[in-house]
Chains A and B, each alone.
Chain A
Amino acid sequence: MTAPVVLLGPQNGDPDVGRVLREHGVEGRVALVNAGWQEREPDDAALVAALGLPVVNLRLHARAEEVFAADPPLVAAYHARQELLRHLQDFYRVRLDYIDDAARAISVRLVEPELLEQEWTVSVDLFRQLDRDHLERCTAIHASFDDRWRLGEREVIARHRRELAALIHASAALVIAGGHVASLLNRLKLFDVVALAAERPIVAWSAGAMLLTERIVLFHDHPPYGKAIAQVLDAGFGLAPGLVVLPDPVRRIRMDDRLGIARFAQRMAPSTCVAMGQGSRIVIEQGRLTRAAADRLAATGDVERGWAG
Chain B
Amino acid sequence: MTARALTDLAAGPKTKEAVDAFFAGRSFPIVEGPAITFVWRGEAEAVHLKHWVFGLPSSQQLARVEGTDVWHLTLELPPESRVEYKLEVVRGGHGEWIQDPLNPNLARDPFGANSVAHGTGYQVPEWTRKDPKAAPGRIDEITTDSAVFGRRKSLVYVPARFRRTRRYPLLIVHDGHDYLRYASLGSVLDNLIGRLEIPDMVVAMTSSPDRLVEYASDERHARFLAEDLVPHLERLFPLDAQPKARCLMGASFGAVASLSAAWRRPGFYGRLLLQSGSFAFTDIGDRNHRGPLFDPIVAFINKFRAEPMAVAERVFVSCGMYESLIYENRSLVPMLQSTGMDVRYVEARDGHNWENWRDRLREGLSWLFPGPLLLVYE
Chain A residues engaging chain B, CB cutoff 8 angstroms: 10, 12, 36-37, 39-40, 65, 177-183, 206-207, 210, 218-220, 223-226, 231, 233, 247-248
Contacts and interface: CB of A to CB of B under 8 A. Distances in A.
B367 A226 contact: yes
Contact of A207 (B161, B367, B377): B377
A178 B367 CA distance: 25
A248 B367 contact: no
Assign chain B's interface to a size class. 10 to 19
Sort A-B residue pairs by CB-CB distance and give the 7 closest, nearest first.
Answer: A224-B366, A206-B377, A207-B377, A224-B197, A178-B378, A218-B374, A225-B363
Nearest to B372: A180
A73 B363 CA distance: 39
Given A39-B161, A39-B163, A224 B373 contact: yes
A105 to B, nearest CB: 20
Nearest to B367: A225
Nearest to B316: A225
B161 A224 contact: no
A182 B375 CA distance: 7
Interface of B: 161, 163, 165-166, 192, 197, 344, 362-363, 366-367, 372-378
Contacts of B165: 39, 65
Nearest to A231: B374
The dominant DSSP class at the A interface is mixed
A10 B378 contact: yes
B378 A218 contact: no
The dominant DSSP class at the B interface is mixed
A177 B362 CA distance: 29
A231 B166 CA distance: 27
A224 B197 CA distance: 7
Contact of A223 (B161, B373, B375): B373
A220 B366 CA distance: 14
A218 B373 CA distance: 10
Contacts of A181: 375-377
B378 A179 contact: yes
Nearest to A223: B373
B378 A220 contact: no
Contacts of A179: 376-378
A39 B166 CA distance: 10
Q: Considering residues A10, A40, A226, which has the most beta carbons from chain B within 10 angstroms of its beta carbon? A: A226
